[in-house]
A = this chain, B = another copy of it.
């Protein structure tokens, strides 16, 4: 998905919110905005938003002189999400269609995203997901939910590449991966994380903290952006990406960076900005499970 003009005010809003979450003082917050302003006239609108925001986030790292400003937030998200793992696992087991329940939970877990939100109470969001029917799964709209296609693709696939998104959310990915492995023990599954710290995106350490290393092979995609920019990716990852039978892509950043790629991709995310929502014809916070072969959105 290409960057839109409406993304620009949002980049400034993200820059300020993220600098604050990263503990930047007012001078550092101002520097973050000024640095983004200096970059803006050079921006191309032919690339995806994460191609730009990666530079903004790196400037926050430079300005705060903190190589991983969201480390504490990520650790807390992992810990809190692990705290609800058992009850969510029970819910998957108890569901009439455990795979569907795990898919929906994996998408709900995508709420743990500090990129577009100025504040996020992970504890409260997890509580809402755990409490389920009242405010979670049952109440959210699913205007695009290609579950039949997802299930069918999964049944036929020998190899699956799962692209992670955020720390904490990894626990929800683990539930889905465990359910896939329980139903289809013979699949070859690989879980990909970001190469280096970017917002609260999951790194290998987060995947391990969430116990994913005991369930699936973990690799770095090589991407240093809040998404998957193939040009940045390792040869190993690109090889997997182009040869696996199915790709499960989590999060809006992965959608933004991969929506114009071909391939057997299923995008699982919560729509978090008006540009993406409009692009897909959905509403904010809608649950999306999009079979890429049905992707008719504009650029």
Contacts and interface: CB of A to CB of B under 8 A. Distances in A.
A38 B9 CA distance: 14
A120 interface: no
Contacts of A36: 37
* Copies of this protein in the complex: 2
A35 to B, nearest CB: 9
Q: Please report whether the interface of chain A is mostly helix, strand, loop or mixed according to DSSP.
A: helix
B16 A5 contact: yes
B41 A34 contact: yes
A8 interface: yes
Interface in A9-43: 9-10, 12-13, 15-16, 26, 29-30, 33-34, 36-38, 40-41
B34 A40 contact: yes
A6 interface: yes
Interface in A217-241: none
A33 B45 CA distance: 13
Contacts of A6: 16
26 contacts: A5-B16, A5-B26, A5-B29, A5-B30, A5-B33, A6-B16, A8-B12, A8-B16, A8-B33, A9-B9, A9-B10, A9-B12, A9-B13, A9-B15, A9-B16, A12-B12, A30-B45, A33-B40, A34-B40, A34-B41, A36-B37, A37-B37, A37-B38, A37-B40, A37-B41, A38-B41
